[in-house]
Amino acid sequence: MGEAAKTVIFEIERQNSTDDSSYWEKFELPYRANMNVISALMEIRRNPVNMDGKRTTPVNWDMNCLEEVCGACSMVINGKARQSCTALVDKLEQPIRLQPMKTFPVVRDLIVDRSRMFDSLKKVKAWVPIDGTHDLGEGPRMPERKRQWAYELSKCMTCGVCLEACPNVNDKSDFIGAAPLSQVRLMNAHPSGAMNRDERLNAIMGEGGLADCGNSQNCVESCPKGIPLTTSIAALNRDATIQMFRNFFGSDHMVD
C-alpha cells in the first residue's frame, strides 16, 4: 500500500447538558466508501477516542428513519443546517464540522429539543377538527390537482432546519418560523380544514406570528423537502390582509 490509509476528520461542538458551556472535540476516523455523517458518528460511538488519542464519551445525536423523512437527525454540518443521514462524507469539505441547531435548547452534544415547533403547531391549530357530538358524515371533496399540490406542503417533517436558518428565529424574538406557518396554509387549503381558516389566520396574526417574517428567504433555500415556504408565507400574508380588514370592517360571520 505504501500510502497512509485515508481518514476523515470531524470537529464536533459538544455540550454535556443544556446549561453547560460547549467545547470542540476532534476525531479522526478511517475512511469507508459511501460513508455518511451518521455512519461516522456510529464509528465514534464504537470507538470514542478523540484525535489526541484520549478516550472520551461517545457523541450523542438523534436519529430515526435514516432516509430523510423524520427530521430527527438534523444538525448544523459545515455551517448549514441539514439532515445528517443524507450528508455524504464524499460531498463534504473536511474537516467536517458538526454543531447542534442552537436555535433550539441543546439537550446533549448534537441532540436538541424541538418542542417549541410542536407547541407552535398547537398554537396555530394545525389540524382539521372533525369531532362532533354526532356523525358529521363525509367532508367536501378535494380536487385531485389540489390534493397533489397540498401533498408537497404535507411533506414537512418538523425537522427545524428552516428555523435554524432563519435570522428572525432567535432568543430575542418569539417568531414561530416558516414550518408552522406553512402548515396553516396546508390546513386552510383542506376543504374541511377551511371551515376554521379564520381561527388559524387570527392565530398567526398574533405575537410571534406571520408579521415577524423578514423575507430573508433562507427557509426556502434550506428546506430539505423543497417546500415552497416563502410562497406559503406570501399567500398567508394575502389571506391575513383580507382577514385584517374583515376583522375590522367585516361581517358578523368570519368563514366565507
Residues found near other proteins in the complex (CB under 8 A):
79-80, 123-124, 165, 167-168, 170, 172-173, 202-212, 214-218, 221-222, 228, 230-231, 233-241, 244
Q: Smallest gap, in angstroms, from Cβ of residue 174 to other proteins? A: 9
- Closer to other proteins by Cβ: residue 80 or 225: 80
- Closer to other proteins by Cβ: residue 68 or 239: 239
Other Cβ atoms closer than 10 A to 158: 20
Sheet containing 96-99, strands listed edge to edge, beginning at the edge strand earlier in sequence: 23-30, 7-14, 96-99, 74-77, 80-83
- Closer to other proteins by Cβ: residue 108 or 125: 125
Residue 17 makes CB contacts below 8 A (sequence gap 6+) with: 107, 108
Instruction: In whole angstroms, give the CA distance from residue 75 to residue 73.
Output: 6
Q: Smallest gap, in angstroms, from Cβ of residue 175 to other proteins? A: 9
- Closer to other proteins by Cβ: residue 94 or 241: 241
From residue 250, alpha-carbon distances to 237, 242, 245, 247, 254 in Å are: 18, 10, 7, 6, 8
Q: Smallest gap, in angstroms, from Cβ of residue 141 to other proteins? A: 25
Q: Smallest gap, in angstroms, from Cβ of residue 117 to other proteins? A: 15
- Closer to other proteins by Cβ: residue 44 or 156: 156
Q: Smallest gap, in angstroms, from Cβ of residue 55 to other proteins? A: 32
- Cell digits for 196? 376554521
Pure H helices in the chain: 37-46, 115-123, 144-153, 161-165, 178-189, 197-204, 218-222, 229-249
- Closer to other proteins by Cβ: residue 57 or 215: 215
Q: Smallest gap, in angstroms, from Cβ of residue 126 to other proteins? A: 13
Q: Smallest gap, in angstroms, from Cβ of residue 77 to other proteins? A: 10
Instruction: In whole angstroms, give the CA distance from residue 138 to residue 135.
Output: 9
> Is residue 30 exposed (0-12), middle (13-18) or buried (19+ Cβ within 10 Å)?
exposed
Q: Is 158 in contact with 215 (CB distance < 8 Å)?
A: no
- Closer to other proteins by Cβ: residue 102 or 147: 102
Q: Is 78 in contact with 99 (CB distance < 8 Å)?
A: no
